[in-house]
Amino acid sequence: MEAKDKKKLHALWADHCEGDVYPATAKAFELTLKKAQQLHERRPGDFEEAYAHNAVLNLMGRDEARRFFDDTGATHGFPITLDHILDIGIYRGIHDNDVALLKDALHTWNRLRFGYRLKHGWYQGMCFRELIHAMADGDVELMKTYMPRSLGLAPKGCWPFFRAGSNLVAIMLHDGPRPSAVEQVLAYAQTYSEAKKNSKGSILVIRYLLALQSGATDEASGYLQSVADEYRRMSWIVEFQPFLKYFGAFVHGLYHLAQHVLPADRFAQMTAPRHSVFSDAFDRLSKARAYQTGGLIPGLSLSGELSGLQRLFGPLSPATPAA
């Protein structure tokens, strides 16, 4: 990372920690989670409301969904509480050159945010950011849980950018997509990428995914570099998560998606982006670990009243309909 960006990151961290308002360690984060759980008012109708509007919960079947929902209730408050664990990982990972801690923080954040999503309405395609952030960690299981094949494609009511992006990921992620579905997805994405009203960054992401789906590695590499160059202007990523300005998890996720969907010899032809938001150290660690996921961040025990959250770090079942 460039010196000027490290300086900005340090200033952001100092502001974050001023007055000890926000947690600065994983242990302090655990205490924050416990306090949030104690303060969060759980209404008797919370589960029924979520179950009525959350397709992934429905796939579990009512009884299993109720248990999963109750066990993961500590994540159902404000998402900014969960973001603190990623903030800690980004700062410590970069400042202390501890990229393994950063990877574990990313994995922990992704899994906890999945628990948060269970509290709210859910339709196919709405979690495009989460899909790509999961891919940054190599968490293919979480990606498939966010976008179950049984739910089909993202519907017309989905935000157009998320619809185009999620559906492109879906036809690459799941084996043997229907030719008619592929044709529909590509036509919509192509139309989106040509519309001048859409933002530059969003168009670049869709063009990258289109190039990746076609196997055009040189073209995909060029678009990915442009995405990295434009990344900090993508307000829908960094507006509410400022630490992500200094670690482009979304950019890493797009690159790792190429590793997952391309044959090894074709992926070898890809060029990783050269930009401060793309961490070469994180990329080297990911490759050394064969793009496997991180683990629960050290210092976070999830014990006592938080023990139910351990379910988020085991096998996830929501993508599989109950028998």
Sorted by sequence, the CB contacts under 8 Å of residue 60 that are 6+ apart come out as: 68, 317, 318, 322
At residue 54, what are phi and psi to the nearest 5 degrees? -120, 105
Sorted by sequence, the CB contacts under 8 Å of residue 77 that are 6+ apart come out as: 36, 37, 39, 40
- Decide: 178 and 152 in contact? Cβ < 8 Å: no
**pLDDT (0 to 100) of residue 20:** 67
**pLDDT (0 to 100) of residue 238:** 77
Alpha-helical regions (H) of the chain: 3-17, 26-39, 46-53, 55-60, 62-71, 79-95, 99-117, 128-136, 140-146, 160-173, 179-194, 200-214, 217-230, 235-238, 249-261, 264-267, 280-288
Q: Which domains occur in the chain, in start order? A: 1-121+293-323 (no CATH), 152-292 (1.25.40)
**pLDDT (0 to 100) of residue 319:** 42
- The yes-or-no verdict on residue 99 having pLDDT over 70 is yes
- The yes-or-no verdict on residue 320 having pLDDT over 50 is no
Q: Could you give the CA distance from residue 119 to residue 200 in angstroms, rounded to a whole number?
A: 32
User: pLDDT (tens digit, 9 = 90+) per residue, 238-286?
Assistant: 777 899 999 999 999 999 999 999 999 999 999 999 999 999 999 999 9
Secondary structure letter of residue 54 according to DSSP? B
Residue 54 pairs in a beta bridge with: 122
Q: Could you give the CA distance from residue 290 to residue 71 in angstroms, rounded to a whole number?
A: 31
What percentage of residues in the chain have a pLDDT greater than 70? 96
User: pLDDT (tens digit, 9 = 90+) per residue, 145-197?
Assistant: 999 998 899 988 899 999 999 999 999 999 889 999 999 999 999 999 999 99
Q: Could you give the CA distance from residue 205 to residue 202 in angstroms, rounded to a whole number?
A: 5
**pLDDT (0 to 100) of residue 38:** 76
**pLDDT (0 to 100) of residue 253:** 98
User: pLDDT (tens digit, 9 = 90+) per residue, 52-61?
Assistant: 989 899 999 9
Of 219, 228, 166, 222, nearest to 201 (Cα)? 228
Write down the pTM of the prediction: 0.94
Residue type, 41: E
Secondary structure letter of residue 242 according to DSSP? G
Residue type, 229: D
Q: How confident is the model at residue 124 (pLDDT cuts 50, 70, 90)?
A: confident
Q: How confident is the model at residue 19 (pLDDT cuts 50, 70, 90)?
A: low
Residue 122 pairs in a beta bridge with: 54
Q: How confident is the model at residue 220 (pLDDT cuts 50, 70, 90)?
A: very high
Q: Which two tokens stand for residue 234?
A: 């993508």
- The yes-or-no verdict on residue 37 having pLDDT over 80 is no
